[in-house]
Structure 1
Amino acid sequence: MSWGGVTERPLSWSDLWKIPQARLSFLVRSTYDTLPCPRNLHQWFGAEETCPLCSTTNASLGHILSGCRTALSQGRYRWRHDLVLRKLAEVAESCRLEANSRPSASARRPIPFTRAGENIITPRQRETARLLSPGSEWSMRVDLGRQLQFPREIAQTSLNRPFTP
């Protein structure tokens, strides 16, 4: 699994028109830090604005989206994290089930070679690249429902959320 090819993902105008206007506006404005967070409101209008949850003065967009300790203690980021993770887990589980249902690499049929001078009767279709190799050894663990069970090989941490610089 890698991030290769993600940046080359084609995005057409028809794809953009299918995105709801409010979501597209949020995506563009959050990317360019032009959402009305307390810091931007202070820059634009000179007013002293605070975070509505923790009363931090002139809080940045990063604070509002992922850095407010009050929102963290109330589980707001966890809720958003779980929504995204639930969708990723759904897609990964379908890939896992599909890979586990295919015969393993050792059970594949042999490659049919053609002798010199013979005609190829039916060309073998090239297998499409898949995320997981075939076999029944794949299992999946997802941190949903406050299970908080991470394999020791991955991470040992007492943090409740990913590190944000």
Structure 2
Amino acid sequence: MGNSRQRSAKEASKKGSPSDGGRLKNGKSSSIKKQGRWVIWEAARQRKVTWNDIWSMEPDRLQFLLRSEYDVLPSPTNLAVWGLSDDPNCKLCGKPTNFEHILSSCSVALSEGRYTWRHDQILSVLADSFEKARKRPPPKDKRLKFINVVRAGEREKSGGTLEGRGLLGTAGDWQMRADLKTRMQFPTKVASTYKRPDEVIWSPSYWS
């Protein structure tokens, strides 16, 4: 199914429209290695980027997102294609090193626990932030905090916004577990499952 869709896209892009002589500029893109990636569907995860996401992102993060989406980051394979390096292979396993290989496909990095180490470093930062938020004293008003929407030229009415800490402000007995160091068991009081999430936060009184 995927191959037939890809062939159809290539054929359609090469035909173009009568208005430009029967061939569009994007007709050539199906034969270009990097710029033609938009005609490939196999093994691709859909990623939606809204205008709000773009405007809220820092320039470096946005640049990384776009370059990774089109596989134009300076990976060893790309550097070799661009003539900037003679060795496109992984220093650990010897296989061609593209972006996917660096992130999760190197067998040596997996066996040596490098992916686990990277995962734990990121999770430890998130867990520390959640733990600090969890230990903050609960506010007097446990109601959720809302944002009032007012029309242009009008002023917000006093007393319309409720103080709180979001969901954490609705209870004072939040508990947390993170999948760090030892294998985390999902709390049976919350749900019975064999899944292994990175982090779980729950409140006995909130669900009672």
Q: Which range, TM-score by smaller chain?
A: 0.5 to 0.7
The TM-score with structure 2 as length reference comes to: 0.47
- Residues 7-33 of structure 1 show CA distances to partners (whole Å, capped at 9, x for unaligned) of 735437xx54xx6xxx77655533431
- In the alignment, structure 1 residue 137 sits paired with structure 2 residue 168: no
Give the structure 1 partner of residue 91 of structure 2.
52
Q: In 2, Cα distance between the equivalents of 1:24 and 1:7?
A: 12
Give the partner amino acid of 2:131: E
Q: 1:8 to 1:104 in 2, by over 3 A?
A: same
- In the alignment, structure 1 residue 11 sits paired with structure 2 residue 47: no
Give the gaps of 5 or more residues in structure 1.
Answer: 1-5, 109-121, 158-165
- Give every structure 1 segment of 4 or more consecutive aligned residues whose post-TM-superposition deviation is greater than 6 Å: none
- Residues 43-72 of structure 1 show CA distances to partners (whole Å, capped at 9, x for unaligned) of 44596732111112x233111122111111
Give the partner amino acid of 2:103: L
Query: What is the aligned counterpart of 1:150 among 178, 182, 185?
Result: 185
Residue 170 of structure 2 aligns to a residue whose secondary structure is coil
Q: Report the count of equivalent residues.
A: 127
CA contact (8 A) 1:71 1:77 kept: yes
Identity level (%): 35
The TM-score with structure 1 as length reference comes to: 0.56
Give the partner amino acid of 1:86: S
Q: In 2, Cα distance between the equivalents of 1:41 and 1:96?
A: 46
Q: Which has the higher contact order (CA 8 A, sep 6+)?
A: 1
1:131, distance to aligned residue in structure 2 (A): 3.7
Q: 1:103 to 1:67 in 2, by over 3 A?
A: farther
Q: 1:124 to 1:25 in 2, by over 3 A?
A: closer
Query: What is the aligned counterpart of 2:104 among 52, 63, 66?
Result: 66
CA contact (8 A) 1:38 1:49 kept: yes
Give the structure 2 partner of residue 3 of structure 1.
none
More helix by proportion, 1 or 2? 2
